[in-house]
Structure 1
């Protein structure tokens, strides 16, 4: 019986090893591998046989296809890593330009809208969790993994453990109470 696992090319194996050595998250590794594979398929050539002009042409192609700015920049990061680290061609990454992400102002709820939203939550437990998350500016994943022991109500601190990028941080909010 033949092994069902597809063979990994030496170049792909080297990139995986480079990413593992630098402790890139599994999601980042998948994203980088996907981006480099897509780049290679676009030109139907091994990516180590492509150069900076090919990268530029690929970026132009992606923009013409309506790729989002964050997705384009993730592809740029992948290609910069591939050329700079895996291929050790230090002159190339600095020539691969990031896209400038258009600045958009976030939608900010008024105090009345926030109160109206929170009062609409029927469960007291869910309302307390949402109020804490909103007041502390927590991401959804941070709020979900929050433990009672992470909240220091005496000092008005919240310890966020393994937040974005697996980083810990301390959140402080000075909540004024008006009578």
Structure 2
């Protein structure tokens, strides 16, 4: 099992956990996992449930046994019906109104406080607020680079227009502008 875990490039911590789970499974039945089947796997996992093992611990054991039987022992039929434990979703802690006021009042400078108040008031999550901030900075940088490029090329385009022999109505519309020539 250790060699298979290394070949699949599992993290050292995950390898150690999977091996420990497999050892615990073998010790529970006092036999080699190669001699055991689906019924013994289920009995072991039910014993973990009755011991009040955490959902995370149960999930780790299921993952280790699925790897052991599916990859190392090449007996995937033993684990096909093995269910993943349901992980309950915890609700986030909600701050009271006074806690929110104290938190916002502690933010300095005033500009940062205003940004946090706007994000909080509009219901943005932290990641959404930071992404919109990054996007806004990127758009501002692009706008500035477009303006600089426009300023650098304006004299060149003005000099090239008469030489190109363009009609007066096209010249008046500003060839090369972002909007293009006028449509008829």
TM-score, length of structure 1 as denominator length:
0.57
Rounded Cα–Cα distance in structure 2 between residues aligned with 1:95 and 1:33: 22
Q: Equivalent residue of 2:92, what SS?
A: coil
Alignment partner for residue 6 of structure 2, among 13, 20, 27? 20
Q: Structure 1 residues 118, 41: closer, same or farther in 2, change over 3 A?
A: farther
RMSD: 3.1
Per-residue deviation at 1:135? Answer: 2.3
Rounded Cα–Cα distance in structure 1 between residues aligned with 2:40 and 2:136: 55
Alignment partner for residue 30 of structure 1, among 16, 30, 37? 16
Higher-helix-fraction structure: 2
- Structure 1: runs of 5+ lacking an equivalent: 1-14, 125-130, 138-150, 157-179
Q: Structure 1 residues 135, 90: closer, same or farther in 2, change over 3 A?
A: same
- Structure 2: runs of 5+ lacking an equivalent: 110-115, 117-124, 129-133, 140-184
Q: Structure 1 residues 114, 36: closer, same or farther in 2, change over 3 A?
A: farther
Cross-structure match for 1:59: 45
Rounded Cα–Cα distance in structure 1 between residues aligned with 2:50 and 2:58: 11
TM-score, length of structure 2 as denominator length:
0.55
Cross-structure match for 1:154: 137
Q: Considering only CA atoms, is the larger Rg found in Structure 1 or Structure 2? A: 2
8 Å CA contact retained: 1:73, 1:99: yes
- Aligned pair count? 122
Higher-strand-fraction structure: 1
